[in-house]
């Protein structure tokens, strides 16, 4: 029973995945409170808007900057958070004055193995297999979220391209109709007989 409790505590992982739209010149901060030391990871990607770039600053519970990136379209950040308290993640779109940007991000808490709980040699082969499967599953989930964010980025690019092609085709049709009308008018003027009174 104790080994089952150890494995369950190892396998538990808390995950938050969100998509948010930042207005021009806006800064939005998110907070994550940790009650015990654990691994803290953040992955983000700008999926829509402008040059697909954004600023990120991560603060620890004492207000010190842990990580900072400027004008990046995607990024990863991971630490073993030893301090208990509230961690702050601030996304900033202050570099853009006109374009809102959509950010997809994933915050995961867990995977921090306390050396006092159990060591790998203390686990049975079945427990070791379960732990390896858990790590593999976590890795697959992270990759799926990255692929979803990339798919959303590419979908937005394709939709924008399709919209431009549609407008270009409508403009071409309008231009052809106008030119056809001008040609018909000119041809009618050449073949029209003028009578003088």
Assess if residue 97 is contained within a domain: yes
Q: How far apart are the first and last CA of the chain?
A: 116
Indicate the average pLDDT of the chain: 82
CA atoms of 147 and 153, how far apart (whole Å): 10
* 3-state SS, residue 76: strand
Q: Is residue 170 part of a domain?
A: no
Question: What's the total number of domains in the chain?
Answer: 1
Contact 91, 18 (CB under 8 A): no
For the cut 70, the answer to whether the pLDDT of residue 21 exceeds it is: yes
130 part of a folded domain: yes
Tell whether 21 is covered by a domain. yes
How many helices (H) and strands (E) in the chain?
2, 8
197 within some domain: no
Tell me how far the alpha carbon of residue 137 is from its chain's centroid: 21
- State yes or no: pLDDT of 103 exceeds 80: yes
What does the pLDDT read at residue 139? 80
Kindly report whether the global pTM for this prediction surpasses the value 0.75: no
Q: Is residue 168 part of a domain?
A: no
d(CA 131, CA 115): 15
CA 97 to chain centroid, in Å, comes to 20
CATH code of residue 48? 2.60.120.680
Print the domain residue range for 11.
2-153
Does residue 173 lie within any of the structural domains? no
Q: What is the pLDDT of residues 158-181, one digit of tens each?
A: 998 999 999 999 999 999 999 999
Whether 78 is in a domain gets the answer: yes
């Amino acid at each position: 029973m104790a080994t089952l409790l150890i494995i369950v505590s190892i396998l538990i992982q808390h995950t938050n995945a969100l998509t948010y739209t930042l207005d021009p010149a806006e800064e939005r901060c998110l907070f994550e409170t940790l009650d015990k030391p654990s691994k803290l990871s953040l992955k983000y990607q700008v999926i829509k808007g402008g040059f697909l770039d954004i600023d990120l600053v991560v603060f620890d519970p004492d207000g010190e900057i842990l990580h900072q990136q400027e004008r990046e379209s995607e990024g990863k950040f991971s630490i073993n958070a030893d301090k208990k308290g509230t961690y702050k993640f601030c996304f900033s779109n202050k570099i853009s004055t006109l374009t809102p940007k959509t950010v997809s991000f994933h915050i995961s808490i867990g995977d921090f193995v306390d050396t006092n709980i159990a060591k790998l040699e203390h686990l049975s082969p079945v427990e070791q297999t379960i732990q390896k499967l858990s790590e593999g599953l976590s890795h697959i989930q992270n990759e799926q979220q990255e692929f979803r964010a990339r798919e959303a980025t590419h979908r937005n690019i394709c939709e924008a391209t399709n919209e431009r092609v549609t407008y270009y085709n409508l403009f071409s049709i309008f231009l052809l109709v106008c030119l056809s009308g001008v040609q018909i008018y000119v041809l009618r003027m050449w073949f029209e007989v003028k009578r003088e009174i």
